[in-house]
Chain A
């Protein structure tokens, strides 16, 4: 491979080797970017592309019972391999998605579902995001309203006594400023 001379200083003493090293490093870094792809290494042996597509969807829908943060597609634990085989078998037998779901839930419980069914024990799980969002919106409305009210009250004119008091305060403040500022000015001059 012909390597064009480059401006990078380190290329001069490494030349060709440096470039291949760089490419290798890049490839390694890119491969780390797509870690989830490493999960499914088996070739699915399903009879039709339609089944294959459903299979790919289903194995991503269920959670591995052994390794709790992975789905069946990502996990290589023996139990996930078994369950993937079972899903393939059920698909070939013509089972519907609901039947496959029931099959897995009957054995491993609702734990395997990444999308648990909506029922009494899961209301909190399903509704919490909406409730929190609503709460957040309420807080924002509350704050905005209060700020508006604060701006409105500041716009109202001051009474004559308040004006006099304000002038008095400003007057004393100016005098104090004069006192503190003057010595400095004298020094600098």
Chain B
């Protein structure tokens, strides 16, 4: 019994060390989305639209903007990228999103708490990887999605259900190790007709 007692400090040390080591590898900022496995919240927001004249960068109002809603996500697997012109990291991931879009991935974007004109100029200047851009100047849809900072990227299936949320910049490593495998999995699960 006394011999067993001698090992108690060692056991406590090993357990503590194991716990601390496990904690070391965890990201303290990681926060799972509350909307995983839930459908995209309902919304009614305008499409961002484009600067009409590429020569003249002054904004030309192009009539009534198209109104988008959650049916936008039906039928295809999509990425939903949350961005804004005030967001420095969004500028960092932008070229990579252009690359991904070129490989045929459907990216919808949410222009979050931004000025419409500034956002249009940004897409004009750096290129537009998005099939459509939802304009959300007040951040209402962002709030419903649980967005707490841009950039964030959601993976949404063909039924409009959110499967994954990545907070932070999407780069080559993030795309290849986490987003692409999940994206492919959803694509493979699609009924033949919708591929």
Contacts and interface: CB of A to CB of B under 8 A. Distances in A.
Given A66-B148, A82-B139, A82-B143, A109 B113 contact: no
Interface of B is mostly: loop
B31 interface: yes
A59 to B, nearest CB: 16
Contact of B34 (A68, A83, A107): A107
A79 B29 contact: no
B32 A107 contact: no
Contact of B143 (A66, A68, A86): A86
B148 A65 contact: yes
A109 B31 contact: yes
Contacts of B23: none
B34 A108 contact: yes
B43 to A, nearest CB: 13
Given A68-B29, A82-B139, A82-B143, A106 B148 contact: no
Given A65-B31, A68-B28, A68-B29, A107 B139 contact: no
A36 interface: no
A82 B143 CA distance: 8
Nearest to A106: B34
Contact of B31 (A83, A105, A106, A111): A111
Interface in A78-115: 78-79, 82-83, 86, 105-111
Nearest to B38: A106
A93 to B, nearest CB: 15
Contacts of B144: 107
A79 B146 CA distance: 10
Contacts of B139: 82
Contact of A107 (B29, B143, B149): B143
Interface string B13-50: 00000000000000011011111000000000000000
A68 B148 CA distance: 12
B145 interface: yes
A91 to B, nearest CB: 16
Contacts of A68: 28-29
Contacts of B113: 78
Given A66-B149, A78-B113, A105 B143 contact: no
A110 B145 CA distance: 15
B99 to A, nearest CB: 29
Contacts of A66: 148-149
A110 B149 CA distance: 18
A107 B145 contact: yes
A101 to B, nearest CB: 13
B28 A107 contact: no
Interface string B116-136: 000000000000000000000
B29 A109 contact: no
Nearest to A80: B148
A29 B28 CA distance: 33
Nearest to A111: B31
Interface of A: 65-66, 68, 78-79, 82-83, 86, 105-111
Report the 6 A-B pairs with minimum CB-CB distance, sorted nearest first.
A109-B34, A65-B148, A107-B146, A79-B148, A66-B148, A108-B146
15 contacts: A65-B31, A65-B146, A68-B29, A79-B149, A82-B143, A107-B34, A107-B35, A107-B146, A108-B31, A108-B34, A108-B146, A108-B148, A109-B33, A110-B34, A111-B31
Given A79-B148, A83-B143, A109-B33, 4 more contacts: A65-B31, A79-B149, A107-B143, A111-B31
